[in-house]
Structures are given as structure tokens and as C-alpha cells.
Amino acid sequence: MSATRRLFLALWPDTALRAAMVERTERARLVREFGGRRVPAHNLHLTLVFLGNVAAERVDALIDEVGQSTPPGPFTLRLDRFGTFPPARVAWLGAAPVPAALALVEMLIGVACRQGLRIDARSWRPHVTLVRGIDARPSGLLPALDEPIDWAVRDFALIESIPGRPYQVLRTWPVE
């Protein structure tokens, strides 16, 4: 049986963006309002395409093909709302999708499909998961986000998820 690696393509925030996300989470008292546990700051990210378990011997080909693709160029996402996915029991900070972000996601889905990976067909909803394990049926209303975060996107990354460890950035590509 072949070894697999659990991978996803994501926007990976810098230290200042992470600090802003943590600060907004604390100010909104999301954990206090909905229970659960905060996602550690070092794991905050915005998933573009979840790839799932990829055969280890296919990772280099995936990296090569992503590197040969032409991303749409830099863009800005405005993280301006809190939300929840009750079935998944998470609270998040989200943005409206912008055309360049949608083009990047479509490009990466194309790469994944050409690599023979099965991709979830649900529409992409740009968000950063902030809290996991919230009450399945939150009783409180979501607080308003008092100060949006503008994320000037200049690159994206291939990330590996290894249980019990911080996410590992395997490779980064510019969007310029």
C-alpha cells in the first residue's frame, strides 16, 4: 500500500494577518459565545482547494504542474464577516469571493483534476476557520465584525496536514 499525504492548497497569512485574525476572534468572544476551541494561530489559513490524501509519489508531479500554471495575478480579499458551519461545528471569518480569487481556485481545481484527484464539487466559500467544536446549534447571534481585515494576496501555498502537528508549508507560488 502506498503512503499518502493529506494536502490542500491555501492562502497562508503572514504574522501580522494572523495576529489581526486572533485579535478579532478574541474581541468577538467567539469561544465564549459558542464554545469550542480556537484554531492555533500558526494553523490559520484560507483553503483554496482541499486535495485530501495524495499518494506520496504523486506530490512532485502536482508541485510541477502547479508551478507551470499561470495564476490570475494579485488580489485583495476583505475578511468582513463572521459565520458558522453548524454541521461541521466551526466558526469562521469570511470574505466575498472576488473574480481573481475565483479564477485562482478554478485554475487549481483544473490542476488537481488533471492529476487525477477527486475534488469536492461544492462552491468555494472563502473563509478562515477560527474556532472548532462549537455548539452544534449555537443559540447566540453572530457578532458583527467591527473592523474588517484587508488581505493583499501575493502568493498561495501547498500545505500538508499531519495530525497533532502544525501545518507544514511544502511550497509557495506567487500570484503575480
Please list the pLDDT of the chain residue by residue as tens digits (176 residues). 579 999 999 999 999 999 999 999 999 988 888 889 999 999 999 999 999 999 999 999 999 999 999 999 999 999 999 998 888 999 999 999 999 999 999 999 999 999 999 998 788 999 999 999 998 665 667 888 889 999 999 999 999 999 889 999 999 999 98
pTM above 0.75, yes or no: yes
What residue has cell string 476572534? Answer: 25
Distance CA 134, CA 137 (A): 8
Q: Please report where in the chains the cell 503575480 appears, as a residue.
A: 176
Whole-number Å distance between alpha carbons of 48 and 79:
15
SS3 48: strand
CA distance 28 to 68: 41
Positions annotated as catalytic residues are 45, 127
CATH number listed for the domain at residues 4-174: 3.90.1140.10
Q: Where are the domains of the chain?
A: 4-174
Neighbours of 164 (CB within 10 A): 4
